[in-house]
Amino acid sequence: MRAVLGIGNPGLKYENTRHNLGFIILDKFAEKHQISFKASKFDCFFGSGSLDAASFGLIKPTTYVNNSGLCAKDITERYGIEIPDLLVITDDINLPSGRIRIRKSGGTGGHNGIESIIYHLQSENFPRLRFGIGSDFSKGKMAAYVLDRISDDEFTEIKKPIDYSVELIENFIRGGSSAMLNHFAATNNKLNEEPNQKGT
In this structure, the strands spanning 100-103 and 2-6 are unpaired
Decide if pLDDT at 175 tops 60. yes
**How many CB atoms are closer than 10 A to CB 49?**
16
Nearest to 104 by CA among 80, 79, 82, 87: 87
Instruction: Yes or no: say if 19 and 13 are a contact pair by the CB < 8 Å rule.
Output: no
Instruction: Yes or no: say if 147 and 18 are a contact pair by the CB < 8 Å rule.
Output: yes
Catalytic annotation, pick one of 19, 33, 111, 120: 19
Spatial neighbors of 98 by CB under 8 A, at least 6 apart, are 131, 132, 157, 158, 160, 161, 197, 198, 199
Decide if pLDDT at 167 tops 70. yes
Q: How confident is the model at residue 197 (pLDDT cuts 50, 70, 90)?
A: very low
**How many CB atoms are closer than 10 A to CB 122?**
9
Active site residue 111: no
- Residue-wise pLDDT for 61-105, tens only, equals 999 999 999 999 999 999 999 999 999 999 999 999 999 999 999
CATH of the domain spanning 2-192 = 3.40.50.1470
Q: What is the pLDDT of residue 160?
A: 96
Each domain of the chain, given as residue ranges in start order, spans 2-192
